[in-house]
Amino acid sequence: MNSKHYDVIVVGAGFAGLYMIHRLRKQGMRVRVLEAADDVGGTWYWNLYPGARCDVESLEYSFSFDEALQQEWVWSERYAAQPEILKYMQHVAERFDLRRDIEFNSRVSDAAFDPSSNTWTVTAENEKQFTARFMVMASGCLSNAKVPDVSGLSSFKGRWFHSGFWPRDDIDFSVTITGPGSPSVLSNVVVPVAKYLEWICNCFSYVRKAGLNRIKVQAQAQDEWEQHVDDVSHRSLIPFTNSWYIGANIPGKPRMFTPYMGGVGVYRCKCDGISSAGYTGFSFSRPAIAQAA
């Protein structure tokens, strides 16, 4: 099986995947995005059930890396619905010619890291194979929907639908069963996503320029960050709810609210502080030849 080599492989062509293409191109890196769908959009491609929209104002739920893009796109609603958000993302892909670096209809089936060559080998279900120095999972938190354990579902003879796997054709419902905790809105992730993607891209540059092999988070630093995120979340009532946000819909899953509730400004300061101090909390390795010298 012949494989194509890139600097970075990104999984997912949602907001994060699209921004990664734009940012990595500017850094002169060869990037390839692998996307299971036949077009861009991520969660806004799959979640097209009636009423799906964003609960953040449209002007905030959009890219800010290009001023002309912000000025030329006019939102029709204060809180945009799914069709318009998807149209916006398709416009971004077209405007910056992002699709030429995306491999559509390519759901990832396997990813393996070879420590001897510091290379990722990524294989898609269509048997296409890619290798890269770096791999970024931009698949998001809504890419693997869980089907509720509804009694009698396995023996039900009719068609049934899940909001995360909504069909693209029209549906005529005669009976509808809905479950609690399934909002019609999807929260804002564009602002924090842009920040940590910038941090990751800058880290890639740091590793390459310094002639390093790998970067790995230290266990203590990871544990301390998880504890901090958990402590901050307990200032709210979210950890005490039976919500899928904390994993309550998955039996046996540890309950934790993983999004950082300390605020985007604080998050940015923490990220910048880590990188400006030489990536404290991370360990690096150098090529064997360099170490011997």
Q: What is the DSSP string of 127-177?
A: S-EEEEEEEEE---SSSSPPPP--TTGGG--S----GGG--SS----SS--
pLDDT confidence of residue 188? 53
pLDDT confidence of residue 19? 95
pLDDT confidence of residue 287? 77
Lowest mean pLDDT segment, chosen from 28-42, 140-154, 169-183, 223-237:
169-183
Q: How far is CA 86 from CA 46, 141, 164, in A?
A: 10, 18, 15
Mean pLDDT of the chain: 88
Long-range contacts formed by 180-184: CB under 8 A, 24+ apart: 181/242, 181/243, 181/244, 181/249, 183/55, 184/49, 184/50, 184/51, 184/52, 184/53
Q: Residue 21 has what DSSP assignment?
A: H
Lowest mean pLDDT segment, chosen from 191-200, 219-228, 233-242:
191-200
Residue 222 binned pLDDT confidence (cut-offs 50, 70, 90): very high
* Residue 195, amino acid: K
Flag whether pLDDT at 183 surpasses 50. Answer: no
Flag whether pLDDT at 185 surpasses 50. Answer: no
Distance CA 81, CA 120 (A): 37
pLDDT confidence of residue 141? 75
Flag whether pLDDT at 36 surpasses 50. Answer: yes
Flag whether pLDDT at 275 surpasses 70. Answer: yes
Instruction: Name the token pair of 172.
Output: 């005529």
Residue 288 binned pLDDT confidence (cut-offs 50, 70, 90): low
Residue 180 binned pLDDT confidence (cut-offs 50, 70, 90): very low
Q: How far is CA 261 from CA 144, 257, 273, in A?
A: 23, 9, 18
Flag whether pLDDT at 96 surpasses 50. Answer: yes
pLDDT confidence of residue 85? 96
Nearest Cα residue to 204 out of 54, 77, 20: 20
218: CB partners within 8 A, 6+ apart? 281, 282, 283
Nearest Cα residue to 179 out of 144, 153, 154, 156: 153
Give the N- to C-terminal CA distance of the chain in Å, as an integer: 37
In this prediction the pTM is 0.87
Flag whether pLDDT at 184 surpasses 60. Answer: no
What are the backbone dihedrals phi and psi of residue 127, each rounded to the nearest 5 degrees, phi first?
75, 5
Distance CA 255, CA 28 (A): 41
274: CB partners within 8 A, 6+ apart? 280, 281, 282
pLDDT confidence of residue 259? 86
Answer yes or no: are the C-beta atoms of 233 and 257 closer than 8 Å.
Answer: yes
Residue 98 binned pLDDT confidence (cut-offs 50, 70, 90): very high
